[in-house]
Every structure is written in structure tokens, then in C-alpha cells.
Amino acid sequence: MEFISGFGGTALSYLLPFLFVLTIIVFFHELGHFLVARWCGVAVETFSVGFGPELFGRTDRHGTRWRVAAVPLGGYVKFAGDENAASVPDHDAISHMSAEERSTSFYLKPVWQRAAVVAAGPLANFILAIVIFTVLFVSFGRPITPAQVDGVQPESPAAAAGFEPGDVIVAIDGHSIEAFSDVQRVVSGSAERPLVFTVERASGTVDLTATPEFREVSDGFGNTHRVGVLGISRAANAAAVSTKTYSLPQAVAAGVQETWFIVERTGTYVGGIITGRESADQLGGPIRVAQVSGQVATLGLVALINLAAILSVSIGLINLLPVPMLDGGHLVFYGIEAVRGRPLSERSQEIGFRIGLSLVVMLMIFATFNDIRQLAGS
């Protein structure tokens, strides 16, 4: 009863930030599909944010129904010739279309146009993230704390590698380091992987090789994460913090770098799960996203918008997975069609979509189980 009442008390504080973040991400993802579809001359029947019964909506002059639905856990764009929200082709309806209707049917467009429409959703997520990061960099700059080592934990990877207080880290694996936060970002995602640190000290510049180790650490909200740790610390000193400002071109470049960092970090984590190096219990679903959204919202609107950019990249990557039902699965089908010169049979596509649905449902169940287990343990 205590867990249930506690969860009920916090659920409302998570809901609004979660809906704010998710609505932004879903809207721009579907807008990517929508705009490229219109450019390719595809008739769009429905643009929906959410699933299930319609709460409110309007129909534009092109006949597209713009709607907000009752279940705000995603969205879809339904094209002429779609059987359902998952863009499964309705072959019976297509066969009875008039010549004019066939000219605007998604499934009768050239394969490159269909691929462009499908790829536009994830691409829009990446563009959204870059735009958000760019605006934040231009508006607020970036706080920089020099990557100086003030403390070395005994019997840590840093101690074994020969780090000393006063060392300044200027590069990791040949990539330049600006701030101590850069060191933390690289190290946290590189557990059990040797890194070469270029360090400046009083006696000159030296290269130190250290292998971060896995440790469970808590963030400022009490959430536990399993990340790589080196065993160095930086003393809190407000006087040492400066703010780096960006011109618009510099901010765009930094936004692209930030987006690519998230892509790389996600790919490293997924690869670690496949190889058994990473634990899958860090995978989260809607409940954890809602929890994190509510926690980050306490830091202010800017922090919540920054979270939306991070999650937008993640949603884009998830949709590119080669799983039928997702955009990546559709792209696989179109790639096969381009190579074969003809699409897969209706039966093969149907089997693929059923397998894809099963995989997505199993992933959601697993992620939700992780979410509930984490909440119960907090």
C-alpha cells in the first residue's frame, strides 16, 4: 500500500512534463513523414498525435484529418492505401482505386519516394535535436570547468594508471577535451575499455592508459545508473567555471556534435547489451520516461527542452531498428524490393509485420517491467 500511495502521489507531477516532451517529439517525427509525403504527391488521410478515440481535430483543405487522440503514447500518419496506423498496405482497397486515387497512393509510388517518406520521420527527430541544441548553445552558451584532476581515489583505475592531483586532461584517445564534463561523458560510456588520456602536468605532457570500471552511481534524483568510473574528482569551485559563447554557425556545429554523441553512446550501449557487457536493466519504457521528465522539470523549462532533444534522438534511433512495424523495418522491405525489382509477397509482408508486432510488444513489456521494478525499489 505504501508503494501504491507513493506512486499515486508522484504520478501527477510526472504526467504533464511527460506529455509535453512526448508531444513535441511525436509531432515532429510525424511531421517529417507528412511533409515529404506531400512533396512526393502522396494523399495523407490522417495526422494523429496519440492513438485511440479522437479527442479533437480538424480537416484541412487537402482532406487530411489532424487529430489528437486519447492515448498519448505515439502517433501516426495514415496515407491513402494504408490499412491501419502501422502503414500496412490495404491491397483490396488499392485494387479498387480509380486512376486519380492510384496516382496519390503511397504504395504505388516509386520505391525511392516511399523510402524517403519513411526515413523522413527519424530524420526529423535528429533535426529537431540539432535545432534545440543550437538554440540552447546560442542562448545560454556552455558552462566550462577545466578538466583538472583534484583528487585520485586509492585503488582506482586512475590510481593504477598513474594519475596525480593537478593533472589537466587535454585529450582522450586523441580527441580534445574542453571541460571536466567531457571527461565524465566519455568515461561513463567506456567501462572495461582502455582509454589513452593525454595529460599535462608540471613535468610535461604524458599519455596515461586507464580502463574505467563499472560502478553503480546515483544521480541528483536518487536514480541508480551503472556507468564507467575512472576514480578522479574535481573540487567544486565556482570561480573556475566559465561560460563558452557560440556564434550561430558554431552552435549548429556543436548541436550536430551533441546529437552524434548521443547516437554513438546509444549504439555503444546497445552493442554492449548484445555482447553481454552491458546490463539490459537500464532499458526503460514510458513509465521511466515519465519519471525522468517529471524530475527534470523541477530544474526548469530549459532542462526539460534539453531532455526533449535527447529523447528525440533516441526515438529516431529506435524507429530505425530493422523491425517490421517500425520505420527501419519498412526501409528493409523497400531495400529488398529495390534489389529484387519487385516487392515481397503479401504473405511475406504479413508475416514480417506480425513478427515485428510481437517483438515491439515484448520489448515494451520488458521495459515496463524494468520501470516498475525500479519504482518499487526506489
Confidence of residue 278 (pLDDT cuts 50, 70, 90): low
Question: How far apart are alpha carbons 273 and 266 in whole angstroms?
Answer: 11
Percent of the chain with pLDDT over 90: 50
The structure's pTM equals 0.85
264 with 175: CB under 8 angstroms?
Answer: no
Give domain limits for the chain: 2-40+109-139+312-377, 142-244
CA nearest to 370, candidates 261, 308, 287? 287
β-strands 204-210, 242-244 pairing: unpaired
CA angle 178–184–189, rounded 5-degree value: 120
Phi, psi angles (nearest 5°) of residue 73 = -115, 30
* Cβ pair 217, 191 in contact under 8 A: no
Distance CA 34, CA 116 (A): 11
96-117 mean pLDDT: 88
Q: Of 112, 108, 92, whose CA–CA distance to 346 is shortest? A: 92
- pLDDT of amino acid 154: 93
The pLDDT assigned to 196 comes to 96
Question: How many CB atoms sit inside 10 A of residue 71's CB?
Answer: 9
Q: What's the Rg (C-alpha) of the chain?
A: 24
Q: With cut-offs at 50, 70 and 90, classify the pLDDT of residue 6.
A: very low
> Are residues 206 and 163 in contact, defined by beta-carbon separation less than 8 angstroms?
no
Judge residue 129's burial from the number of C-beta atoms within 10 Å of its C-beta, 0-12 exposed, 13-18 middle, 19 or more buried: buried
What is the CATH code for 142-244?
2.30.42.10
Cell of 230: 575512472
**Mean pLDDT of the 268-284 span:** 70
Q: Does residue 89 register a pLDDT over 80?
A: no
Between 71 and 325, where is the model more confident?
71
Which residue's C-alpha cell is 576514480?
231
Q: Tell me: pLDDT of 1 over 50.
A: no
Residues taking part in catalysis: 30
CB 253 within 8 A of CB 142: no
Separation of alpha carbons 349 and 106, rounded Å: 16
pLDDT at 212 over 70: yes
